[in-house]
Amino acid sequence: MKYTKDEIAGLIESHPSNHIKVAVTDIDGVLRGKLISKKIFLKALHSGTGFCNVIFGWDVNDNVYEDSKVTGWHTGFPDSKVTIDPGTFRAIPWENDTPFFLADFNQSKELSGVCPRSLLKKVEKECHSMGYRPFFSSEYEWYNFSETPQSLSEKGGVNPTPFTPGMFGYSMLRASQQNDYFNALAEELSLFHVPVEGIHTETGDGVYEACIEYTTVLEAADRSVLFKNGVKEIASRFDIMPSFMAKWNNHLPGSGGHIHQSLWDEDGSKNLFYDEERKEKYSELMEHYIAGQLHCLPYILPLYAPTVNSYKRFVSGSWASTSVSWAVDNRTTALRVIASGPEAARLETRVPGADANPYLAIAAALASGLYGIKNRLTLNTPQTEGNEYSRDTSEQLPATLKDATEKMKASDLPAELFGKAFTEHFIYTREWEWKQFSQAVTDWELKRYFEII
């Protein structure tokens, strides 16, 4: 249910909690927030509140960027104003129903152009201006470990212990053996207004997959961010540590963060991706949308695969896409068309990993699909028949974050889709990420070279 600011004020004034949680999302999709008093919240609800803009001046490990133009030591890291979105109101069931809200930097002159949530709102607005109503959902795979932050730190941050052993995809047994945790995820997330349509074990040691219910595009991204953070908070109660990194072990499948999407008419009554009269049942509009995603994919890949580790997931035979490809109901391709009926017809973008920032991955999918519609792109890429991994004629995805970022930087397309300010800042942060990796001495190097060289 969506509330006005006045309705929210009334609810908060009568709420037994004296404090409220407010959070924003940084460029990496990490939820950053704080607890504020009821008095401060009620004032901030109408006038906004400040967050130190270092949120966009450091990386995922809080290391300050050296040469970021957006903010840095040269700006003194001032507070930037955020707008609390009353429509995101939730009560946190595992924290005595503490009220919770999301915010974004749409009031901040210096940060509005790089704020991921603000970017998605901009793409959504464009979609509505074209006469379409976008509906999206996400599904996530993630691994669970019998660790706490303290126990993993004592191991030096490596060799986590999976909380169940063995390759048990769709296992009723493994789910039953961890039923308290398994059921808590399904029930408590739904109470948190992150409705989980289904949850099951995947193939791999201690890995789960969950599908989040379809909804409007911004709400879908909000749910995705809150799902990932919520899973971690619920898991900690059971001394379990989840990980959404794309590929934690090279012997096991990676973790996907697939995006399901469709465009409907303005009042949301007709799915425009479905056409009963056509043989394959997917519409001409959907063809343009697919063509747009395929055309843009090589130039915006870092939005789907933002970390060094992301690219370890793109392995043949691993359930992850490796090429610019599409097909009907085929899980070896980048794009999977599902045209099973007027309600369910949709596109599944299988490229993103679970490590992607949901706002950016969803914005990338929608913006590139709309690009295909605006330019009436023809779907020239042949549909894959059978195993895409065995084809040697498809364009392959860039193999590293460095390659993908360089390809993004060399193209004018990302700035056309997302704006110059965001594109330049995002590219800089991915170059920074690769630089940090390049300077690190890894366990692999020590094992390979320490004695023998």
Domain boundary among the residues 110, 136, 168 is at: 110
Is 90 exceeded by the pLDDT of residue 176? no
Token pair, residue 70, equals 């957006």
* pLDDT value of position 110: 82
23, part of any domain? yes
* CATH code of the domain in which 12 resides: 3.10.20.70
Residues 103, 176, single domain; the answer is: no
Residues 38, 170, single domain; the answer is: no
- Note the pLDDT tens digit of each residue in 352-368: 999 999 999 999 999 99
Output the pTM of the full model: 0.97
Is 80 exceeded by the pLDDT of residue 340? yes
What is the distance between the alpha carbons of residues 363 and 185, in angstroms, rounded to a whole number? 27
- Note the pLDDT tens digit of each residue in 8-48: 999 999 999 999 999 999 999 999 999 999 999 999 999 99
Where do the DSSP E strands lie in 67-116?
79-84, 90-92, 98-104
Domain boundary among the residues 57, 81, 110 is at: 110
* pLDDT value of position 393: 92
Residues 241, 312, single domain; the answer is: yes
Token pair, residue 397, equals 């995805």
- In DSSP notation, 294-327 reads HHHHHHHHHHHS-STGGGGS--TTTTS--BS-EE
Q: What is the domain extent for residue 374?
A: 124-441
In Å, how far are 44, 265, 283, 288, 349 from 375, measured between CA atoms?
Answer: 42, 19, 16, 8, 20
* CATH code of the domain in which 402 resides: 3.30.590.10
Quote the number of domains for the chain: 2
What is the distance between the alpha carbons of residues 310 and 400, in angstroms, rounded to a whole number? 8
Residues 70, 130, single domain; the answer is: no
- Note the pLDDT tens digit of each residue in 284-295: 999 999 999 999
Token pair, residue 221, equals 């991204």
117, part of any domain? no
172 pLDDT band, cuts 50/70/90, is confident
109 pLDDT band, cuts 50/70/90, is confident
Residue 64 β-bridge partners: 58
198, part of any domain? yes
50, part of any domain? yes
200, part of any domain? yes
In Å, how far are 111, 112, 228, 325, 329 from 384, measured between CA atoms?
Answer: 42, 40, 32, 7, 10
- Note the pLDDT tens digit of each residue in 216-243: 999 999 999 999 999 999 999 999 999 9
Residues 6+ apart with CB under 8 A from 43: none
- Note the pLDDT tens digit of each residue in 399-427: 999 999 999 999 999 999 999 999 999 99
* pLDDT value of position 376: 98
According to DSSP, residue 451 is labeled: T
* pLDDT > 70 in the chain, percent: 100
- Note the pLDDT tens digit of each residue in 313-325: 999 998 999 999 9
390, part of any domain? yes
Q: What is the mean pLDDT of residues 264-272?
A: 96
Residues 271, 344, single domain; the answer is: yes
Residues 82, 213, single domain; the answer is: no
Residues 270, 199, single domain; the answer is: yes
452, part of any domain? no
- Note the pLDDT tens digit of each residue in 178-228: 899 999 999 999 999 999 999 999 999 999 999 999 999 999 999 999 999
Q: What is the mean pLDDT of residues 77-88?
A: 95
Residues 271, 416, single domain; the answer is: yes
Residues 149, 180, single domain; the answer is: yes
Residues 407, 280, single domain; the answer is: yes
Is 80 exceeded by the pLDDT of residue 1? no
What is the distance between the alpha carbons of residues 72 and 56, in angstroms, rounded to a whole number? 9
450, part of any domain? no
Is 80 exceeded by the pLDDT of residue 131? yes
Residues 93, 141, single domain; the answer is: no
Residues 74, 141, single domain; the answer is: no
